[in-house]
Amino acid sequence: MDEIDKTIINELQNGFPVCESPYQSAAEQLGISENELIDRLQKLLDDGILSRFGPMYHAEVMGGALTLAAIKVPEKKFDEIADIVNSFPEVAHNYQRTHDLNMWFVIATDTPIAIQNVIQSIEKQTGLHVYNMPKNKEYFVQLKLEA
Amino acid sequence: MIDSKDLQLIKIIQHGLPITSRPFNEIGNQIGMNESEVIERLTCLKNTGLIKRFGVIVRHQRLGYTANAMVVFNIPDQSVVKVGEMISQAKYVNLCYQRPRQGTNWPYNLYCMIHGKNRSKVLQQLDQLIDTCKLSQFEREILFSRHCFKQRGAFYCTPTASSDLAFSVAHG
């Protein structure tokens, strides 16, 4: 990854035009050719530095629901419980964190009621309480990581 | 209100835009829609907020952001919005949410994520945040991530759902 790649990553986290030749317009802003932008983006995707190039949808506007959930898992049982939780297709991210409340995951479903069903099933299969922490309010941040 | 043609578009681009000179033309060809209609509909979906944004979605670990802290605060209800708005101004805060408290064991109601290249840098930024936003009197905890067990990227797709869609579920 060189300076041009970094500039591409930094600039295209801010947005991408929706027009006939969007790579051409974005490339002009970046001071490179359309072909170079296309080649570099493809390589960043192939190398796994970018997970995706495309849209980010708003789950709630789509009618879906998201929540952040957590479980206090005994250390010895961590892998076993992680396997159960991760087997749910609605579980998007799952992180082990430095706390008694040590397993944190996001549940994404197509309807708000489905969140409750997933939580109940996880509680039943793990025998552990699931803390459910849906967002009450989201504060706007510039979601951008400098390359 | 979105119609079935919008849904078709939403589904077809959920895993990414074609990386070719005329991506919207290519998408249109796949679903029998002309390029200008694709552009018009996507512009509209963007304006309504259903598409938050187009662009690159990075794997933060691959960029060297391996220290990922979730910082939680217990802020009195009457000032939480003001504090949330202040915290979210800091450029190193990547996400900021208000969430319900979970009884006395977990009294926290304001969450923010700080992604950094190492823990000491993140702790330094947190100190700065506490100082700038005058947060030292509030109860707080820092939870660093130790291991990522599952990262499905930003996809949402249940096998039973009528339409499989990609949502932004960035809370790593």
Backbone torsions φ then ψ of B154, nearest 5 degrees: -100, 35
pLDDT at residue B146 in the model: 83
What's the whole-model pTM score? Answer: 0.79
Q: How far is B126 from chain A (nearest CA, A)?
A: 16
Higher pLDDT, residue B169 or B150: B150
Report which secondary-structure segment, H or E, holds B22.
none
- List the single best residue of B48, B58, B75 to mutate versus A (max A Cβ within 10 A): B58
pLDDT at residue B30 in the model: 94
Per the structure block, which two tokens stand in for A35? Answer: 């072909």
Share of chain A above pLDDT 70, in %: 98
Does position B167 have pLDDT exceeding 70, yes or no?
A: no
Domains of chain A: 3-46 (no CATH), 65-133 (3.30.70.3460)
Does position B153 have pLDDT exceeding 90, yes or no?
A: no
Share of chain B above pLDDT 70, in %: 87
Across residues B82-105, what is the average pLDDT?
93
Q: What is the DSSP letter of B127?
A: H
Q: Which residues of B touch A62 (CB under 8 A)?
A: 10, 50, 165, 167
Measured between CA atoms, the residue of chain B closest to residue A95 is: B148
Across residues A62-82, what is the average pLDDT?
93
List pLDDT tens digits, range B105-117. 899 999 999 988 8
pLDDT at residue B155 in the model: 42
Which of B10, B21, B147 is facing A23, going by the closest CB pair?
A: B21
pLDDT at residue B157 in the model: 35
Residue B152 pLDDT class (50, 70, 90 cuts)? low
Residue B172 pLDDT class (50, 70, 90 cuts)? very low
Euclidean distance between CA atoms B156 and A63, whole angstroms:
12
Across residues B82-106, what is the average pLDDT?
93
Taking only Cα atoms into account, the Rg of chain B, rounded to an integer number of angstroms, comes to 20
Does position B71 have pLDDT exceeding 90, yes or no?
A: yes
Report which secondary-structure segment, H or E, holds A129.
none
Q: How far is A114 from chain B (nearest CA, A)?
A: 11
Taking an 8 Å cut-off on Cβ atoms, the answer to whether B22 and A20 are in contact is: yes
pLDDT at residue A79 in the model: 94
Q: How far is A15 from chain B (nearest CA, A)?
A: 5
Q: Is B163 exposed, middle or buried (0-12, 13-18, 19+ CB in 10 A)?
A: middle
Q: What is the DSSP letter of A16?
A: -
Mean pLDDT of chain A: 92
Measured between CA atoms, the residue of chain A closest to residue B141 is: A99
Euclidean distance between CA atoms A94 and B40, whole angstroms:
37
pLDDT at residue B138 in the model: 97
- List the single best residue of A18, A37, A39, A47 to mutate versus B (max B Cβ within 10 A): A18
Per the structure block, which two tokens stand in for A132? Answer: 């459910």
Residues 5-24 of chain A whose Cβ lies under 8 A from any Cβ of chain B: 8-9, 12-16, 18-24
Taking an 8 Å cut-off on Cβ atoms, the answer to whether B144 and A20 are in contact is: no
Taking an 8 Å cut-off on Cβ atoms, the answer to whether A134 and B100 are in contact is: yes
Q: Which residues of A touch B107 (CB under 8 A)?
A: none
Higher pLDDT, residue B67 or A73: A73
Strand partners, B115: B68
Considering all CA atoms of chain B, what is the largest pairwise distance in Å, rounded to the nearest integer?
A: 60
pLDDT at residue A143 in the model: 65
List pLDDT tens digits, range A96-124. 999 999 999 999 898 889 999 999 999 99
- List the single best residue of A97, A122, A132, A146 to mutate versus B (max B Cβ within 10 A): A97
Q: Which residues of A touch B169 (CB under 8 A)?
A: 59, 66, 92-93, 106, 108
List pLDDT tens digits, range B29-39. 999 999 999 99
Three-class SS of residue B41?
A: helix
